[in-house]
Structure 1
Amino acid sequence: MVAVAELGSGTGAITRYIAQVDAKQVLLFEQNSRMRQRLEQAYPAFQCHHNALQLREVLDQSGISQLDCIWSGLPFFNFAQSVRTALLEQILLSLKPGGWFKEAEGYGLALPLKIHINH
């Protein structure tokens, strides 16, 4: 089964595409409570969470060992360096070997950043 997380789901622009993929577990992370509530209503089969810094903890609680792909719409350069580092650590700890991290264009990492993990 494909397991995917989206960090900074916002209005669901990427979520709409994720929803078209079959056989998956999807974790959405959105801090804005109003947007998160809309995501919960629009995608009831997906798990919605508040804080992307808790990615690894949420995976453990959900019984998901590792993710196939992580999409990020987070504005990395709006965050302090310590937060950026913590987020990237969570991402690296959460991806399975061969997993993909895809960062939306224009948010401050390589444009677009694609990290392919080979453990």
Structure 2
Amino acid sequence: MQSSARFLKKFLDSPATVGSIIPSSRMLVSAMLSPVDWARAETIVELGAGTGVITRAIEGRRRSDSTFLAFESDPQMRAELGRRYPDALLEDDAFHMHAALERRGLENADCVISGLPFANFPRNQQAGLITAIHDALRPGGLFVAFQYTRQLQPYLDSTYGDIARRLVLFNVPPALVYICRKGE
């Protein structure tokens, strides 16, 4: 409950950067993470880690020898994530994902999991971030994002050839999960 109250406060303070009134449901987290081949994923990136609902699930699934970068722009949420998940490498700006990977000596990500509210970003930032995510993925890498609108779909359709969609009704609000694979 404490996480939900903190999330609601952050949403009320800055709805454009938080994007929802409560954290993701278990069903949404499951829909987001089930497509990932956790036995093979060496570098995992999470965008918009928030209060850590998806972060916690990633930590429970990833291999102990994998690298996990979590991006969260809110300094208080990022500090809390650092206390709760000391093995995660925390970064503040998803728009600088490529530089963060390079700085950490990583070439590409096996998967990028996003909880960012793309619909709240200007269109040029949406397109730029989709391109940056695609560029950061290794060939065959996976990008999974949830959204509350279909606004992101044209960018994904023009960037990825292999896209699956799942509607998760048991979430507030219901969410659409996009599962995108980068070509080999």
TM over 0.5: yes
Structure 1 counterpart of 2:50: 10
- What RMSD over aligned residues (CA atoms) do the two structures have, in Å? 1.3
Q: Percent identity at matched positions? A: 33
Quote the offset at 1:75 in angstroms.
Answer: 0.5
1:56 maps onto 2:121 in alignment: no
Q: Secondary structure at the match of 2:53?
A: coil
Structure that is richer in helix per residue = 2
- 1:89-111 Cα offsets, whole Å, 9 max, x none, are 11011001111000024265342
Output the CA distance in 1 between the equivalents of 2:122 and 2:147: 19
Unaligned segments of structure 2, at least 5 residues: 1-40, 154-175
Matching residue's letter, 2:49:
S
CA distance in 1, matches of 2:147, 2:98: 24
Q: Separation in 2 of the partners of 1:96 and 1:7?
A: 17
> Map of 1:1-119 to 2, 5 A cutoff?
2-20=42-60, 21-22=62-63, 23-106=65-148, 108-110=151-153, 111-119=176-184
Unaligned runs of 5+ in 1: none
Tell me, what secondary structure is at the counterpart of 1:88? helix
Q: Please tell me whether the aligned partners of residues 118 and 147 of structure 2 are also in contact (alpha carbons under 8 angstroms).
A: no
What's the CA shift string for 1:20-65, capped at 9, x where partnerless?
A: 1213100010011100000011111111111000000000111111
Residues 103 and 109 of structure 1 are in contact (CA less than 8 Å); yes or no, is this contact kept in structure 2? no
Letter in 2 for 1:9: A
Question: What is the alpha-carbon distance in structure 1 between the residues aligned to residue 67 and residue 131 of structure 2?
Answer: 21
Counterpart AA for 1:86: G
Amino acid at match of 2:177: P
AA partner of residue 178 (structure 2): L
Question: Which letter maps to 2:105?
Answer: G
Deviation of 1:81 (Å)? 0.5
Q: TM-score, normalised by structure 1?
A: 0.93
